[in-house]
Amino acid sequence: DDGELITSEPWGVYFKPDRTTVQGGAQPLKLGHTFSVDPYPTGTVDPEFPGLWSASLSHCLARFEGARARYRQARSGGVGAFTVDNFPVFDYLRPNVFVAADSNHGYKMIAVGREIARVLGGEHSSLLHPFRYERFATGDLHPVSHSPYPWS
């Protein structure tokens, strides 16, 4: 935001307009198998995030230059769970349990609802087949992206 180099590593952010602000995030922090969900944090976990966020927005869009002072800490998002190949799972885990686990794809998941309904009605879906749970056991994983970001 003030011209200071924040990182020399690859970076990326995502953002969207919210009711009165701009909401978004950056590359997830890898927390491993031990993390505390409760108490839920009041804002971002990484203390350096506000600087990265503000600098990246002003770098990408001139209208955000000098906006660091208006950054507000707010609860948004949460712990994201990623699959090994960073793709969702759509499959029966038990005869009466169908799972749609998003691997942090969030709002993009709404598009599969109709296809899941077809499967629940007894049809086979060639579109959902690549996202079956069994792929982890058989090694039939999706190609690994060379992007530093798990959602690419």
pLDDT at 10: 73
Produce one character per residue of 52-78: b if its CB has 16 or more CB atoms within 10 Å, e if not: bbbbbbbeeeeebeebbeebeeeeeee
pLDDT on residue 40: 65
Domain boundaries, the chain: 13-70, 80-152
CB 121 within 8 Å of CB 142: no
**Residue 46's pLDDT is what?**
75
Q: What per-residue confidence (pLDDT) applies to 4?
A: 77
Contact 15, 72 (CB under 8 A): no
Q: pLDDT digit of tens for each residue in the chain (152 aa)?
A: 667 777 787 777 888 888 888 888 777 677 777 777 776 665 666 778 888 888 888 888 898 888 888 888 776 666 677 788 888 899 999 999 999 988 766 666 778 899 999 999 999 999 999 999 999 999 998 887 766 665 55
